[in-house]
Amino acid sequence: MMNEATAQTIALNVLTWLAGDDDLFAIFMGSSGMSAQELAQRAGEAEVLAAVLDFVTMDDAWVLRWAEETGGAPTAPMEARMALPGGAQVNWT
Specify whether the CB–CB gap between 13 and 80 falls below 8 A. Answer: no
Per-residue pLDDT of the chain (93 residues; tens, 9 = 90+): 789 999 999 999 999 999 999 999 999 999 999 999 999 999 999 999 999 999 999 999 999 999 999 999 999 999 999 999 877 654 555
Question: Three-state SS across 26-82?
Answer: HHHHHHHCCCHHHHHHHCCCHHHHHHHHHHHCCCHHHHHHHHHHHCCCCCHHHHHHH
Could you tell me the pTM of the whole model?
A: 0.89
